[in-house]
Amino acid sequence: MAERRESDSQEDNIWTTVYSDMVTNLMLFFLMLYGLTRMSADMRSDITKGLEKKFRGATSAEVRAEKVVKKFTEEETASKVSDLAQSEKSGYTSVEINEKQIKITLNSPVLFTPGSAQLPDATKLALNDVAKIIRPVPNAIIIEGHTDNTPISRGQYATNWELSVARAYSVIEYFVKSKNISAGRFVAAGYGEFRPVEGNETEEGRARNRRIEIVMIR
């Protein structure tokens, strides 16, 4: 008889413990709800969205929407670049567009004088038009500098590689300092004379090889 009473007492204690835990959790839950009612609507919305993303991640619909918006923005940018290349104002600008990149080539015969990385005023005018197009989009941009194959015997740069990097940097510096485009978006690359687009046998060919390519990664 005593053993049965002791067993009944233990069962009562277990039930009381479970009930106490449940009441405590309910109290905490209602306290949370009360706290949420004291917050502004914007703060409640931010907390709700944060919890949703934490526990289930971004929905596939949200991901698809972001991709559609990004693709639309890039297509709009590509269209503007094409219009720029066809305009009389920027007749020395050529464009290559594919699914991986949008490449703008500044290939004016007066883009750079031999051995120099100084941007002429005519080139700055072309860069002004390019800046209007690339500023609104967040994509990374590679600025590639190129030279002809004329050996450097004197001057500020020891090799065509150094010169090509300096040419790329001069464009980046103009975009950042004069056009207020974020410096973190740019990468400078220099290829020296090793990626010519024309033969270096003529002055016209060498002038075309002294070029800048602006590559926006899609």
Instruction: Give the per-residue pLDDT at 60.
Output: 60
Q: Order across the sheet with 93-97: list the strands.
A: 93-97, 101-106, 212-217, 141-145, 186-190
Instruction: Give the per-residue pLDDT at 24.
Output: 85
Instruction: Give the per-residue pLDDT at 5.
Output: 53
Q: Which of 189, 199, 111 is nearest to 148 (CA)?
A: 199
Residues of the chain with confidence (pLDDT) below 50: 2, 68
Instruction: Give the per-residue pLDDT at 162.
Output: 95
Instruction: Give the per-residue pLDDT at 108.
Output: 66
Instruction: Give the per-residue pLDDT at 197.
Output: 92
Q: Which of 74, 59, 153, 84 is nearest to 115 (CA)?
A: 153
Instruction: Give the per-residue pLDDT at 143.
Output: 97
**What is the number of alpha carbons within 13 Å of residue 37 lying toward its C-beta?**
6
Q: What number of other Cβ atoms are within 10 A of residue 129's Cβ?
A: 17
79-126 pLDDT, tens digit per residue, is 777 776 676 555 567 888 888 899 999 876 668 888 889 998 888 988
> What b/e string do you get for 168-203 counting C-beta neighbours within 10 Å, with b at 16 or more?
bbbbbebbeeeeebeeebbebebbbbeebeeeeeee
Left if phi > 0, otherwise alpha if psi is -120 to 50, otherwise beta: which for 192? left
Give the three-state DSSP class for 199. Answer: coil
Which amino acid does the sequence have at 52? E
